[in-house]
Structure 1
Amino acid sequence: MVRSNAEVAALLQEYADLLAITGGDAFKARAYEKAARAIDGFPTDVAGLDTKGLQEIPNVGKSIAEKIVEFLHTGQVSIVEEARAEIPAGVRELITIPGLGPRKALILHQELGISSVAELLDALDDERLRDLKGFGEKTEANIRHGIALLQQAGGRILLGAAMEAAEQVIAALSEVTGCRRCTYAGSLRRMRETIGDIDILVAAEHSAPFMEAFAALPNTAEVIVQGEKKTSIRTTKGLQVDLRVLPPAAWGAGLLYFTGSKAHNIRIRELAVRHKLKLSEYGLFHTETGRNLASRTEESVYARLGLPWIPPTLREDRGEVAAALRNALPELVTEADIRGDLHTHTDLTDGVASLADMVDAAAARGYTYYAVTDHAPDMAMQQMTDAKMLAQREQLRQLNGKYRKLHLLHGTELNIGPDGEVDWPAEFLAGFDLCVASVHSHFNQSRDQLTKRLVRACENPHVKIIGHPTTRLIGKRPGIDADFDAVFAACARTGTALEINAHPERLDLNDEDILRAKRHGVKFAVNTDAHATTHLPYMRYGVGTAQRGWLTKDDVINAWPLPRLRRFLAQGRSA
């Protein structure tokens, strides 16, 4: 069953945005934002809670709880509907543009009468934004870039949302009598950061029961096409899902074919042709005799072409076939290799779970070590103090003895200021097991300023990981404009790891940046940046992104044994 938390959180966040657009109470808007984050990270489905139960969730008071119950019972909330009615739909569309927040959307509507993306583009072409307070040429360029990001995203959804939808379909179809195998394919199996359509494959002797069950799924809004070999539906959230039923004997060939990518498949088919063979979704066939030479498993198809099995995350035609022919494919890092998470938060700052709950969840994942890295004081809204951080350190030390196999590390996420300075002085930083440093503001500095800012942070001997290095939010905020080759070189020189932030909205660094950074000799940390216990499983998406960047466990510091990790963290700290 689909958890209601995401839908409730989206509604609360929308209301916070609507309040911001209309110039409503800023404290009220902030309260709804906090509640949205708390609901999204709450481990239990809120659909099963009453008003009293909802108030047990951090940052959810009686008023918000009552509105959640109203939404769960009726599908809407009266005050949200009223707020929507006050604002033209086009203005609400404006706030979806990356880099254009509610305040600027309101100014554009009030001052220039803009209420759609098309009208905004016309205003940009006419240079009408430049006379508005808070706008200028750089703002215009950022808005244009945001519109381009919005248009580029089209109907694509984030990896995490696509995975959740696919696994719900797989769970349902796997229960149908006659199902031999069922899985997802396509760009989802390749762990692309955004997904267009979801491809589901079933191996079975008879397709009709699966096509009928698929079309009748609870979240089906429309059956686009229904046939013997393929059925396509559109879900209630507008996502297209395609189902193909394959004969069990053709499973491997079909899985290879429908996983793609298109460029990888072309490369494989070219190799087949050179061997006088023909590859299709039903098997690898001898061109002259038509005999099926391999089809049951992907491994057998690749082997018949003289190749080892190529992991799906590498199948982008970026040299993987040539490497396979040389027997030079990397042994990719896997989720099982990850020994711990080195960037997480608690409710001491902006997390929604207690320290004890986060540690319990980490222990349940079988980690060897786990770092708590709450925000430092320069993030003023988090109200961190030296005393609070030291008290947490003591609490962590007391918890350390509770777990036989899990070693707890006390860290912090520092803020990289506009000049590259970080929050605490060196003597205070020396007390942490590790420091993650991240950019959280001043995204529009010049390329030279941003580059120097990041390089300076790398040169701080107490900073061992640069968190979410480009700061991007997929489809919402572009990455900062820095010379990242210079940053990568600085990381390699100073022994500073770069984070692969596993949150589906970030996946930062992305695969192409990872490939570039690896050529500089950089090491990486795959972290979840978890703000709730439900975020810890995001590790799978970070590992998938690391695989797309051709990383091995030797490249990833939190795949190392604790003694080796400790040596890395201690390196240079006496400087």
Structure 2
Amino acid sequence: MVRANDQVEALLQEYADLIAIRGGEAFKARAYEKAARAVGGFPTDVSKLDAKGLREIPNVGRSVADKIVEYLRTGRMSVVEEARASVPAGVRELIMIPGLGPRKAMVLYEELEVASVDQLLDAIHKERLRDLKGFGERTESNLLHGISVLQKAGEGRILVSAAMDVAEQLVAELSDIRGCVRCSYAGSLRRMKETIGDVDILVAARRSAPFMDALTALPHTAEVIARGEKKTSVRTTTGLQVDLRVLPPASWGAGLQYFTGSKAHNIRTRAIAVRQGLKLSEYGLFDAESGESITSGTEEEIYDRLGLPWIPPTLREDRGEIAAGLRGELPVLLTEKDIRGDLHTHTDFTDGLAPLEDMVAAAAARGYAYYAVTDHAPNLYMQRMTKEKILAQRERVRALDGTHHTMRLLHGTELNIGPDGTLDWPDEFLAEFDICVASVHSHFNQTRRELTQRLIRACENPHVAVIGHPTTRRIGKRPGIDADFDAVFAACARTDTALEVNAHPERLDLCDEDILRARRHGVKFAVNSDSHAITHLPYMRYGVATAQRGWLTKEDVINTWPLAELRRFLGGRGA
């Protein structure tokens, strides 16, 4: 179930980390990081490529290709195993802490003999880090926060995209079994939460045995946790638990509603049933006194009998959706079909993996009406951008505009919001872009006041249309910055600057709770993929789902608007 590309990406990234830990050349570690990202974002399954084919992947040379071939043939990468042996396991554990880099992890090991998260916590509480060069009270505070993020991420949860890959493959395989009437994933995955603890699969069938047999016999099933007539639980080779339940076809709607959850939402619906003299369970809606079945076939029938409209799964978190449904005020949520274009994407001109022409063709294949290319600006120094280079790209974009059906191209840039809130280029140059996205990429540990003013200053620039990945978080890897986001949201509403819902599964930034807060300020949003590869463009589904969890409609999202309306929104910004 795990793509070979993902496995190779993880190994190459680990090797890059190990090089850095051992004090190797920075350029070599960076080269392996680039190769890892390139393999992970490459659309073709690397297990189907020979050495020559692998060398055609951007940033993959002969040496890297040989290592990939070795792994695909033997299941091991010898240089990684050798590097692991030379680095204490505890140091490898420490670099998993968000905010703690390889070099500082090695200093902690060499100077304080800290070789585990528990030992680091002990050292922080005893204030032992303060005598080390480059460490101090603020470092201690940041490390404590990073450890908290790591521990939460380690509670057996995985990114929604990884869980979706497993679930969709299982649904496809089980749907092909004779006797399957209906099959779907449920639980927190159907509600599209950003991380998933386990995958719930439901099947409607008259006989359960064929489906239980199939699940336990799949090659990616490593362990059968429990097996029964109605439910079987297994653990996959990647450690993910999958729970399969087989329901009578007549109970499908009630079962799907029940096992989708959330628990708090279900408590609300059951309370409504009780007030009406009914009983709601996974088998149906029944008369509480006689036990007579009222309805159970579809979710719509269940909700309708309770006096509610069908409530989309992404809203079922007990955040007021029941009350809104009873009042007839549920929003018509944004859908992926509503998205007319993607306003934040990258090419291999900076840190993307695919050429401009390939990204544009892939966007056109998605049926977009417009598409923005927003490569990085010069202050993200490793991208080596210049005015001359960005203007040359603009000429290429203009030449491609209109060559793919009716899709129009916008030439933009992703600006770096500096520590003082300044941007990469002067206003007169920014005015020439169709769209400017501005994002924080560094100096995450400024004070709350500094970070807040930094973001507000950026959104006050008349040429900035969108604040990209506003909190900068990376789920399970890096916490969001400590800014007064209510003040930032208010500033965005005042300046008519959109906030991004970044659809990359590692970001989903803004998150649903932040979207709900920002929406109350009257902010507009842009749901973007932040694609760095063709394979990232479909991430839009996760951004849309996150927007739904934040109760957004298509009127709230600028890239659902017709191009003429979008251009009017961008009009004061040089479009």
Band of TM-score, shorter chain: over 0.9
Q: Deviations over 1:104-139 (max 9, x none)?
A: 111111111111111111111111111111111111
Cα distance in structure 1, aligned partners of 2:360 and 2:196: 32
Cα distance in structure 1, aligned partners of 2:101 and 2:181: 49
* SS of residue paired to 1:130: helix
Cα distance in structure 1, aligned partners of 2:2 and 2:25: 33
* SS of residue paired to 1:436: strand
Q: Hey, what does 1:145 align to over in structure 2?
A: 145
Q: Hey, what does 1:346 align to over in structure 2?
A: 347
Q: Hey, what does 1:436 align to over in structure 2?
A: 437
Cα distance in structure 1, aligned partners of 2:462 and 2:200: 47
Greater Cα offset, 67-76 or 81-90? 81-90
What is the CA-CA distance between 1:58 and the residue it aligns to? 0.5
Cα distance in structure 2, aligned partners of 1:35 and 1:478: 25
- How many pairs were matched up? 574
Q: Hey, what does 2:548 align to over in structure 1?
A: 547
Q: Which amino acid aligns with 2:452?
A: T
Cα distance in structure 1, aligned partners of 2:74 and 2:304: 56
Q: Deviations over 1:71-117 (max 9, x none)?
A: 11111111100111112222111111111111111111111111111
What is the CA-CA distance between 1:573 and the residue it aligns to? 5.3
Q: Which amino acid aligns with 2:413?
A: T
Q: Hey, what does 1:319 align to over in structure 2?
A: 320
* 2:123 matches 1:123: yes
Q: Deviations over 1:490-549 (max 9, x none)?
A: 000000000000000000000010000000000000001000000000000000000000
Q: Hey, what does 1:205 align to over in structure 2?
A: 206
Cα distance in structure 1, aligned partners of 2:572 and 2:292: 60
Q: Hey, what does 1:191 align to over in structure 2?
A: 192
Contact 2:465–2:573 under 8 Å retained in 1? no
Q: Which amino acid aligns with 1:109?
A: Y
Cα distance in structure 2, aligned partners of 1:225 and 1:516: 42
Cα distance in structure 2, aligned partners of 1:522 and 1:139: 34
Q: Hey, what does 1:487 align to over in structure 2?
A: 488
What is the CA-CA distance between 1:431 and the residue it aligns to? 1.0
Cα distance in structure 2, aligned partners of 1:50 and 1:354: 22
Query: Normalising by the residue count of structure 2, what TM-score does the alignment of the two structures yield?
Result: 0.99
Cα distance in structure 1, aligned partners of 2:494 and 2:548: 24
Cα distance in structure 1, aligned partners of 2:572 and 2:200: 46
* 2:42 matches 1:42: yes
Q: Hey, what does 2:460 align to over in structure 1?
A: 459
Cα distance in structure 2, aligned partners of 1:539 and 1:93: 32
Q: Which amino acid aligns with 1:275?
A: Q
Q: Hey, what does 2:376 align to over in structure 1?
A: 375
Cα distance in structure 1, aligned partners of 2:391 and 2:182: 52
* SS of residue paired to 1:499: strand
Cα distance in structure 2, aligned partners of 1:548 and 1:28: 42
Contact 2:464–2:573 under 8 Å retained in 1? no
Equivalences for 1:299-318 in 2 at 5 Å?
Answer: 299-318=300-319
* SS of residue paired to 1:569: helix
Q: Hey, what does 1:296 align to over in structure 2?
A: 297
Equivalences for 1:357-506 in 2 at 5 Å?
Answer: 357-506=358-507
Q: Hey, what does 2:54 align to over in structure 1?
A: 54
Contact 2:129–2:140 under 8 Å retained in 1? yes
* SS of residue paired to 1:129: helix
Cα distance in structure 2, aligned partners of 1:221 and 1:103: 37
* SS of residue paired to 2:297: coil
Query: Tell me, which stretches of 5 or more residues in structure 1 are unaligned?
Result: none
Contact 2:186–2:259 under 8 Å retained in 1? yes
Q: Hey, what does 1:180 align to over in structure 2?
A: 181
Q: Hey, what does 2:218 align to over in structure 1?
A: 217
What is the CA-CA distance between 1:426 and the residue it aligns to? 1.1
Q: Cα RMSD (Å) of the superposition?
A: 0.9
Q: Hey, what does 1:534 align to over in structure 2?
A: 535
Cα distance in structure 2, aligned partners of 1:181 and 1:372: 41
* 2:96 matches 1:84: no
Contact 2:361–2:404 under 8 Å retained in 1? no
Alpha-carbon spacing, 1:426–1:314, altered in 2? closer, same or farther (3 Å): same
Q: Hey, what does 1:135 align to over in structure 2?
A: 135
Contact 2:433–2:574 under 8 Å retained in 1? no
Q: Deviations over 1:28-60 (max 9, x none)?
A: 111100000000110000000011110000000
* SS of residue paired to 1:370: strand
* SS of residue paired to 2:38: helix
Q: Hey, what does 2:238 align to over in structure 1?
A: 237
Q: Deviations over 1:256-278 (max 9, x none)?
A: 00000000000110111000100
What is the CA-CA distance between 1:489 and the residue it aligns to? 0.4
Q: Deviations over 1:269-318 (max 9, x none)?
A: 01110001000000000001111111110000000000000000000000
Contact 2:526–2:557 under 8 Å retained in 1? yes
Cα distance in structure 2, aligned partners of 1:57 and 1:239: 30
Cα distance in structure 1, aligned partners of 2:173 and 2:124: 49
